[in-house]
Chain A
Amino acid sequence: MKLKKFLLRYYPPGVILLYEQQGQQYQRTLDLLDLRPGTDVEALVAQIMQSEPLLTENRRKHLRGLILKLVEKQKEQEQNRREFVLLRVLRAHVLPLTNCAFNKSGSMFITGSYDRTCKVWSTATGEELHTLEGHKNVVYAIAFNNPFGDKIVTGSFDKTCKLWDANTGALHYTLRGHQTEIVCVSFSPQSDLIATGSMENTAKLWDVEYGTERGTLYGHSAEIVSLHFNAQGNLMVTGSFDHDSRIWDTRTGTCVHRLQGHTGEVSSTQFNYGGDLCVSGSIDRTTRVWDVRMGKCLSVKQGHTDEVLDVCFDSAGTNFVSASADGTARVYSTRTGACLDTYVGHTGEVSKVSFNPQGTSVITASSDKTCRVWDVSSASSQGGGGGGGGEGGRCSQVLEGHTDEIFSCAFNYEGDHIITGSKDNTCRIWKASS
């Protein structure tokens, strides 16, 4: 075994080791999910050196340098909370937008619409790069195969799913097999599989290379509206209107666990980065955290006074956030389960929520025609008395301008651009002021 190269990963923090063994290239990832601006770097380096046989003594200096870089990046984030300004309004579609998504570098993003197209945009110039045409009904669910970003998948109410070349806009495959509307899609992180969820109670797995069906996931008894792969790509979680979530083995297509407990439709599900936990939000007004290995519910969060419409973890899995029809969002510490922040201010339902990749901000999209950006209280500042209790939650900005409700929003990987997609047929690009 010989170490060939280090790669740095900022979000979530980690160092990737590329090494050679008997002429073959492999890689191993050192996840540093607990890295904070105040982390004792020397102690961390010593600990890694001890546990990682690939790292010989002469690599110590290099490793220290990389970790210092990661720490610097974290400090940068803490200090730089910047204002977002409207960069561009794109008269994107002739009918309302559905979802929007960035590629990993943030150079491009895509928008889906009721006008049956998906469009590919340049973030910097706002130029329309490609229109992906061919669907015969609403393009509802869309995704890039991040981190690669060379493919796009679109799921439509026309019951098909299409795989496209992100750079040329050419159609690779049309995936046929579902009997009803496709409402959620995802690439596996390795980009070898596509998962689709439909209104007919099934999810399907498809082979990216050949465009063929790999299998159907049977078990849910109602619409599947959410699905996510874990970071390893070996498991998937689905959320359904049958009140359950299910965990599936993506290799065999079998259901590993049925996560029972919600008393209303599940609206959203996601794994944490480590893949040991998943979170689900429900119309029953609660959010549940589940142990993935055991398939057991670890905790029920009951703070919302109306339906929970969206949930997600931050990129390292440190915190998670829930968005509700009660007009608020709530951030919880994954470790302690404590509610760190409650974001109050929207005058309508909050239907979408996500963290920036750094985990320092949250964006919420609402039917009140605005998005809001919020500061996440760090768990450490919570511990120091005074704060805590989850009452606070500062709104750092209101993104105003859309003339109808906002259906979708996303941060790019750097966290310095936001896109918002609205029922008003437009998409807006917001850029952090420098």
Chain B
Amino acid sequence: MGLLSLLRKLKRTEGEARILVLGLDNAGKTTVLKKLSDDDISTITPTQGFNIKSLNHDGFKLNVWDIGGQKAIRPYWRNYFEQTDAMVYVIDSADRKRIEETGLELADLLEEDKLSGVPVIVLANKQDLVTALSPDEVADGLNLYSIRDRPWQIQACSAKTGEGLQDGMEWLVKQVRPTKK
């Protein structure tokens, strides 16, 4: 990839959208990304920095930035806000203890100037686990119904099985794709 391609991904290009994937550590952000690009998901380690993938969705190019979510590096999320077209916020639905923490992080993000009006899709991930909260419970826990300043959506999914991911992507693309004439 190299530094030059980072610069090329930084600029806004017609016919492409920049998607930011955020969420707490171990939410499954990298797994979501890898599953979407049909990569092997058996050996994923905590992301120390970021991963970038270009996804093609029905002729439309998505530059997806998956950003590490460990507490120590969350203050650096801002590095990546510039030129964001849509945000994917990934939740470990089985991690009941940290629903409040992830809700607070999301609330902070929604108040960021540079992300104002940016559509957000919340992925209630890990639905394959029996202890997972339902999407409704997640939406409640995160107080999503109070969001009025942007399009938003909650989507149940399992990055492991891939279930729900395509539906989520379709909603996302609808938000960022320029309307056809």
Contacts and interface: CB of A to CB of B under 8 A. Distances in A.
A137 B1 contact: no
Contacts, number: 68
B10 A267 contact: no
Contacts of A157: 79, 82
A24 to B, nearest CB: 44
A405 B1 contact: yes
A309 B4 contact: yes
A138 B65 CA distance: 15
A114 B10 CA distance: 14
Contacts of A265: 8
B76 A267 contact: no
Given A94-B73, A116-B76, A351 B10 contact: no
A155 interface: no
A95 B3 contact: no
A241 B7 CA distance: 10
B147 interface: no
Given A115-B76, A116-B79, A199 B50 contact: no
A65 to B, nearest CB: 45
A241 B11 contact: yes
Interface in B1-52: 1-5, 7-8, 10-11, 48-50
Contacts of A375: none
B130 interface: no
Contact of B2 (A95, A114, A199, A352): A352
Using C-beta atoms within 8 Å of the partner chain, give the interface range for chain A: 20 to 34
Nearest to A408: B3
A144 interface: no
B79 A407 contact: no
A351 B4 CA distance: 8
A98 interface: yes
A223 B7 contact: yes
Nearest to A349: B2
B78 interface: yes
Given A94-B73, A96-B49, A425-B49, A367 B79 contact: no
A369 to B, nearest CB: 12
B158 to A, nearest CB: 27
Contacts of A114: 49-50, 76, 79
A423 interface: yes
A424 interface: yes
Contact-size category for B: 10 to 19
A267 B73 CA distance: 30
Contacts of B79: 95, 114, 116, 137-138, 157
Among B5, B49, B76, B79, find the residue whose CB has the most chain A CB atoms closer than 10 A. Answer: B49
A225 interface: yes
A267 B4 contact: yes
Contact of A405 (B2, B68, B76): B2
A136 to B, nearest CB: 8
A326 interface: no
B59 to A, nearest CB: 22
A424 B48 contact: yes
A42 to B, nearest CB: 48
A404 B48 CA distance: 11
A243 to B, nearest CB: 14
A314 interface: no
Interface string B92-116: 0000000000000000000000000
Interface in A292-345: 309-310, 325
A367 B3 contact: no
B1 A349 contact: yes
Contact of A351 (B3, B68, B72, B76): B3
A99 B50 CA distance: 17
Interface in A156-201: 157, 181, 183, 199
Contacts of A199: 7, 10-11
Contacts of B78: 137
Given A137-B79, A223-B11, A367 B1 contact: yes
Contacts of A367: 1-2
A274 B68 CA distance: 46
Contacts of B4: 225, 267, 309-310, 351
Contacts of B68: 95
A265 B8 CA distance: 10
Contacts of A99: 3
B140 to A, nearest CB: 34
Nearest to B1: A367
A31 B147 CA distance: 68
Interface in A262-293: 265, 267
B39 to A, nearest CB: 15
Given A183-B7, A223-B7, A265-B8, A407 B2 contact: yes
Nearest to B45: A403
Given A94-B48, A95-B49, 4 more contacts: A98-B3, A352-B3, A407-B2, A423-B49
11 contacts: A94-B73, A95-B48, A99-B3, A115-B73, A157-B79, A183-B7, A223-B11, A310-B4, A349-B2, A351-B2, A423-B49
Interface of A: 94-96, 98-99, 114-116, 137-138, 140, 157, 181, 183, 199, 223, 225, 241, 265, 267, 309-310, 325, 349, 351-352, 367, 404-405, 407-408, 423-425
Q: Which 10 A-B pairs have the closest CB atoms?
A: A351-B2, A96-B49, A95-B49, A407-B3, A138-B79, A267-B4, A137-B79, A425-B48, A309-B4, A367-B1
